[in-house]
Structure 1
Amino acid sequence: MQLSNLEHLPNYTITERLDVVYGSTVRTKHVGKDFLAGLKNIVGGELVAYTELLEEARQEALERMIDKARAMGADAVVGVRFSTSNVAVGASEIFVYGTAVKAVRNAPFENTQQPPAFNPTSFE
Structure 2
Amino acid sequence: MIIVTTEFVPGKEVKELKGFVKGSTVQSKHIGKDLLAGLKTIVGGEIKDYTDMMTEARKIAIGRMVEDAKKMGANAVIGVRLETSSVMANASEIIAYGTAVYVE
TM-score by length of 2: 0.98
Q: Which residue of 1 is the match for residue 4 of structure 2?
A: 4
Establish whether residue 41 from structure 1 lines up as the match of residue 41 from structure 2: yes
Cα distance per residue 1:40-69 (max 9 Å; x no partner): 011111011110000000000000000010
CA distance in 1, matches of 2:53, 2:88: 15
Q: 1:38 Cα shift?
A: 0.8
Structure of greater Rg: 1
Distance 1:30 1:84 in 2: 18
Superposed, which structure 2 residues align to 1:103-118 within 5 Å?
Answer: 103-104=103-104
Q: How does 1:68-107 map to 2 (within 5 A)?
A: 68-104=68-104
Equivalent residue, structure 1, for 2:23: 23
Alignment correspondent of 2:63: 63
Measure, in 2, the Cα distance between the counterparts of 1:73 and 1:16. 10
Distance 1:51 1:7 in 2: 29
The percentage of counterpart residues that share the same residue type is 51
Q: CA deviation at 1:93?
A: 0.5
- Counterpart of 1:19, as a letter, is G
1:116 alignment partner in structure 2: none
Q: 1:29: how far off?
A: 1.6
Structure 2: runs of 5+ lacking an equivalent: none
- AA matched with 2:66: I
Instruction: Give structure 1 regions of 4+ aligned residues with deviation exceeding 6 angstroms.
Output: none
- What is the Cα deviation at residue 4 of structure 1? 0.6
Counterpart AA for 1:65: M
Quick one: distance in 2 between partners of 1:75 and 1:66?
9
Query: In the comparison of the two structures, how many residue pairs are matched?
Result: 104
SS of alignment partner, residue 13 of structure 2? strand
